[in-house]
Amino acid sequence: MKRFNWDAVELRRDDDKPTGYGAANARIGEAIGGEHLAGMLVVLEPGEHSAPYHWEAAVEEWVIVLEGRPTLREPGGERELCAGDVVCFGLGPDGAHKFTNRSDEPARIIMLSDQRASKVIVYPDSSKMRVRTPDLQANYRLETDVGYWDREP
């Protein structure tokens, strides 16, 4: 059995992210050999964001706050969370979310979701959609919607 300890794990940063989105993280599912559930420890320093505001078309997401006071943006507005809080983001626009650390101390959260080979993620603020499958990773503008039979013979 593989083990993941969120107090002892080595965190990584993705260098290709823009300023404000460089939160340190560690992939839990990958570390313990998970196949059906994905998890990530995210450490948000003051002023950092988790990801752009988004919702998932086919994946439920949960967030568990381990420490700190991250601010959750959701369709109903913003609210500050604290250690021990657990929130669920369902499918579709009602599950839209983004975390920002507006406090003076780091915030540590665990993000959990279904492990799916295919995902559709919508980013309402930038009017785009991301499609991820084993054979395709692409971003599209929502305003470029075409008819089902477009360019078909």
Structure tokens that stand for 95 in this block:
């599950």
Quick check: is 110 in a domain?
A: yes
Q: Which pLDDT score, from 0 to 100, does residue 42 have?
A: 96
In the Cβ-directed half-sphere of 62, how many Cα atoms lie within 13 Å?
12
Q: pTM to 2 decimals? A: 0.89
d(CA 147, CA 145) in angstroms, rounded, equals: 7
CATH number where 111 lies: 2.60.120.10
**How is residue 58 written in tokens?**
């086919």
Stretch 58-82: mean pLDDT:
97
How many domains are there within the chain?
Answer: 1
Is residue 16 situated within a structural domain?
no
Q: What is the pLDDT of residues 84-133, one digit of tens each?
A: 999 999 999 999 999 999 999 999 999 999 888 889 999 999 999 999 99
